[in-house]
Amino acid sequence: MGLEVWIVESNVRIQRSTTQSHKHPILEPEEKRREGVESKKEAEKCRESKVLLNIRKNPLATLEPFNAEPLRSDLISSYVTPVDFFYKRNHGPIPIVDDIERNLPKYNVTATLQCAGNRRTAMSNTKTVKGVGWDVAALGNAVWGGAKLADVLELVGIPKLTSATPSGGKHVEFVSIDKCKEENGGPYKASIPLSQATNPDADVLLAYEMNGKTLNRDHGYPLRVVVPGIIGARSVKWLDSIGIITEECQGFFMQKDYKMFPPSVNWDNIDWSTRKPQMDFPVQSAICSLEDVNVVKNGKVTIKGYAVSGGGRGIERVDISVDGGKTWVEASRYQKAGIPYVAANKWAWVFFEAHTDVPKDAEIVAKAVDIAANVQPESVEAIWNLRGILNTSWHRVHVRVGHSNM
């Protein structure tokens, strides 16, 4: 079996198949699918790793499906997130799939993927929400290697910068080998607009490498989609097929999850059809050099963290306050240590750093502004939603000067 492209009844599909009619080989694997029965074993193995994830210290990390994030300090230890520190988000068992061959030009794209539920725990502290209890590290920045989806689609007759096919196709659907209970045992799937998929500048990849090495199983081996600038739920792992469809994907995670509702909506009055699937993620930042509550011996504190925005919007500035938001100073920004920030990697996060004196008891706040002048909202209450997604409120930590009582 192979990953192939062919035209059937004017609809373009890319799929693992043995069908011989109208096909055009693109990526030709000798592939054999097996059920992901080893996912729990793999998760247990990862839990014993000293370098991986904050599972022991994070009781909200889960083994089935395997979901976990790194410690805050580990997250910002490298601009390119090591694979072992890249957050894990799964909706079902991790499949086992054999390798593929690569027969298209390879591109490298540095992009930050962020789970829509990043910082959900802080939102749940305001009012309970449903979902994995992420701290601030459900994201990571990697160098993804693979073929551009625009090139693949062009090979089957869909020109670049196409918004609709003659037969009315306006969306590209990605279907995974991954099976999940929310789809009643069917595959995980998602879609993006055809205009985005066929735009070379959107850098949508069929990726088989991560940080210069072959993808590992946790991150979609042997082939995944990487859609920069939007929530990670649309970057489908363990890719099985691609289809051109007239309407948005009707899968569970497009139509009954990952949508942004106002605080007034609850589980009794929710109507999923009233909202569009969430795509871009808003401007976001978090302090990673400090925990939620800290005790320091003197009044000098170094504040480090990350900032990122969706849609290819770079970060204009990061503001830091040590008095709960009454006064502010601007932090320095960088993507490589010692080199001033220039918005060259439009899909990637930036790190920020500030050194300041703090009073005896301080609430330190970070907020970012992107190049479109979007700014993080002050209050989590104003953006609370029942699924706990897109908590981009000001990030706050507390510092006390003195000796710990612990």
pLDDT score for 96: 61
**What's the burial of 346, exposed, middle or buried (CB within 10 Å: 0-12/13-18/19+)?**
middle
CB of 7 closer than 8 Å to CB of 24: no
Structure tokens at 178: 């991954």
In three-state secondary structure terms, 299 is coil
d(CA 252, CA 121): 23
pLDDT given at position 9: 30
pLDDT at 100: 55
CA 167 – CA 11 distance, rounded (Å): 7
Q: What distances in angstroms separate CA 27 from CA 208, 250, 270, one per listed residue?
A: 11, 27, 42
Q: Kindly report, residue by residue over 1-11, the tens digit of the pLDDT.
A: 344 443 333 34
pLDDT at 13 (0 to 100): 52
Q: What was the pLDDT predicted at 252?
A: 98
In the predicted model, is pLDDT for residue 104 greater than 90? no
Does this model's pTM top 0.75?
Answer: yes
Residue 125 CB coordination number (10 Å): 12
Which tens digit of pLDDT belongs to each residue from 351-397? 999 999 998 899 999 999 999 999 999 999 999 999 999 999 999 99
Query: What is the band of 39 on the pLDDT scale with cuts at 50, 70, 90?
Result: very low
User: 23-27 and 2-8 as β-strands: parallel, antiparallel, unpaired?
Assistant: antiparallel
Q: Please give the domain boundaries of the chain with CATH numbers for all domains.
A: 2-274 (3.90.420.10), 284-401 (2.60.40.650)
Compute the distance between CA of residue 90 and CA of residue 233 in angstroms, rounded to an integer: 10
**Average pLDDT, integer, range 101-116:** 90
Tens digits of residue pLDDT in 327-354: 999 999 998 877 778 766 899 999 999 9
Res. 115: pLDDT tops 80:
yes
**Which residues does residue 206 pair with via DSSP β-bridges, in sequence order?**
147, 225
**Arithmetic mean of pLDDT over the chain:** 85
Three-state secondary structure of 78-93: CCCCCHHHCCECCCCC
- Tell me the average pLDDT across 184-194: 97
Helix (H, G, I), strand (E, B) or coil at 17: strand
Residue range 302-331, pLDDT digits in tens: 999 999 999 999 999 999 999 999 999 999
**Would the pLDDT of 42 be above 60?**
no
DSSP string computed for 139-196: EEEEEEEEEEHHHHHHHTT--TT-S--TT---EEEEEEEEE-GGGTT-EEEEEEEHHH
Q: What is the DSSP letter of 381?
A: G
Q: Which of 6-20, 55-69, 202-216, 270-284 has the lowest mean pLDDT?
A: 6-20
State the pLDDT at residue 343: 66
pLDDT band at 233 (very low <50, low <70, confident <90, very high): very high
| Residue 33: predicted pLDDT | 28
pLDDT of 121 higher than 70: yes
Residue 255 structure tokens = 């139509």
Which of 300 and 273 is assigned the larger pLDDT? Answer: 273
pLDDT recorded at residue 99: 58
Contact 27, 103 (CB under 8 A): yes
Amino acid 336: pLDDT? 80
Long-range pairs for 321-327: beta carbons < 8 A, 24 or more residues apart: 321/363, 321/364, 321/365, 322/356, 322/357, 322/358, 322/359, 322/362, 322/363, 322/364, 323/359, 323/362, 323/363, 324/363, 324/365, 324/396, 325/363, 325/365, 325/378, 325/394
For 216, the token pair is 């590992």
